[in-house]
Structure 1
Amino acid sequence: MTHPSAATTVTSAAERAYRHLKRSILEQLYPGGQLVSEGEIAEVTGVSRTPVREALLRLEAEGLVRLYPKRGALIRPVSAREITDVIEARRLVELHAAERVWPRRAALRADLAARLAEMRAAHAAGDLTTLMAADRAFHATVVDAAGNEILAELYQRLRDRQLRMGEASFRLSPGWAEVALTEHAAQLAALDGDDPQRWLDTVAAHIDNAATVLRTLR
């Protein structure tokens, strides 16, 4: 009978702490500007401080926290600059992808319709976490369908920052969920037509409207 090594145990504990912290940050359970201590996190996750420290180092490298020795970790607020940078990156990637997928729009439409149905069901159930995940999947489906693995990887790296921003927009702007559903439906309608510019315009308008909501919430 084999037993897990001490190194494996520590790694598992660090991974558990990392996932808990990341989920809590992305879902705004730890809002931007809050200072959390290693001891507090260790108590909540049931692990020692060493794996907590490892988890915090990973999160600092990802730009989600800033570490202060002997004090803890500051959850980094979403800045105006970060919003602008993420929106600009989204525009570049998503509009390029939208242009590339137009010739294959029939197959794409079925996948997007499934994601939109998931969004509607989650919204009706009041399940914000699932709604947000389905919303991100809707956008990622277009990017993945473009067939550029490097751009798809870049877009995936934007995911965490988008999720944190998306959480704020869905939670703090009461009407945004309905607007997002309407705009996604408009994108599907554009795919049913024969005007590629209309399709590109609906994609761009949705990104720009999301940017407006995010800036309003700051």
Structure 2
Amino acid sequence: MTTPDGATRSPKAAGPARERVYEWLRDEIIRGTLEGGQFLDEQWVSRTVGVSRTPVREAFHRLAAEHFIQLMPRKGAQVRSVTARELEEVYQARRLIEGQAARSLCEARHGAPEGMTALLEPMERAGAAGDWFEVAGLNRRFHQIMVSTAGNSVITDLYDGLHSRQQRVGLRAMKARPERVDIVDAEHRALVAALDACDAERALAVLAEHLRPVPEVVSVLPRDGQG
């Protein structure tokens, strides 16, 4: 299947139609294959994925609720751009949730969850290869393990609600400043070390730096609007 800009990733062939449409559109938006400002026509999507228009409409409504697209009356949908404000707000939410999780793990003297340590090298390999989609997915999993291990199911549910937006914002940031990959890798290792040492203040300091909107990234994003 071919997207409007020439990409050739095919949708999944198995699973409920609405999930196949949703996952394909979500991943292509996260990758940037479907860019901010691009219009999505129901007929084109249904033909590309090989489904009727009903699951396409269902996927559109779900993606709109997750702030990936804006529904346009009689025009289908338009992909939303990642804005500077969205990046700043996602990072702010993450600092609050992840900071609480890190503090809880240190107070319980839990140490860094094994899953976090196991993801360090795969993230670094993906970054060295410039596979930003893989990096963003692994990065999200790395931080999600910390939050879920802290054991507050309500906070975990709130954090999981950021899943796709977190991955898209993270990928956009890495594409904007790929030279920061070594800094990000070092911060991940510093966070694991702080958790292993049960040093809450150090862990919070690492997170504050790690989840700080970088001016050079913010400056290349639109401030408002859907772009």
Query: Structure 1-normalised TM-score?
Result: 0.85
Counterpart CA distance in 2 for 1:41 and 1:194 is 49
Question: Gapped runs of 5+ residues in structure 1?
Answer: 1-10
Cα distance change of structure 1 residues 57 and 194 upon mapping to structure 2, 3 Å threshold: closer
Letter in 1 for 2:177: S
Higher relative contact order (CA 8 A, sep 6+): 2
Q: Which has the higher helix share?
A: 1
Q: Is the 8 A contact 2:46 2:52 kept in 1?
A: yes
| Correspondence for 2:90 among 86, 92, 99 | 86
1:132-143 to structure 2, matched below 5 A, reads 132-143=136-147
Q: Identify the residue that residue 202 of structure 2 maps to in structure 1.
A: 198
Provide the identity percentage: 37
State the aligned residue count: 207
CA RMSD of the aligned region, Å? 2.1
Q: Identify the residue that residue 54 of structure 1 maps to in structure 2.
A: 58
Superposed CA offset, 1:89-112 (max 9, x none):
111111111111014555425332
Cα distance change of structure 1 residues 143 and 22 upon mapping to structure 2, 3 Å threshold: same
Question: Gapped runs of 5+ residues in structure 2?
Answer: 1-14, 222-227
Counterpart CA distance in 2 for 1:194 and 1:65 is 41
SS in 1 for 2:139: helix
Query: Moved runs in structure 1, 4+ residues, more than 6 A?
Result: none
Q: Identify the residue that residue 32 of structure 2 maps to in structure 1.
A: 28
1:115-154 to structure 2, matched below 5 A, reads 115-154=119-158
Cα distance change of structure 1 residues 110 and 213 upon mapping to structure 2, 3 Å threshold: farther
Q: Once structures 1 and 2 are overlaid, which stretch shifts more, 25-34 or 184-193?
A: 184-193
Q: Identify the residue that residue 95 of structure 1 maps to in structure 2.
A: 99
Query: Structure 2-normalised TM-score?
Result: 0.82
Cα distance change of structure 1 residues 48 and 192 upon mapping to structure 2, 3 Å threshold: closer
Cα distance change of structure 1 residues 161 and 168 upon mapping to structure 2, 3 Å threshold: same
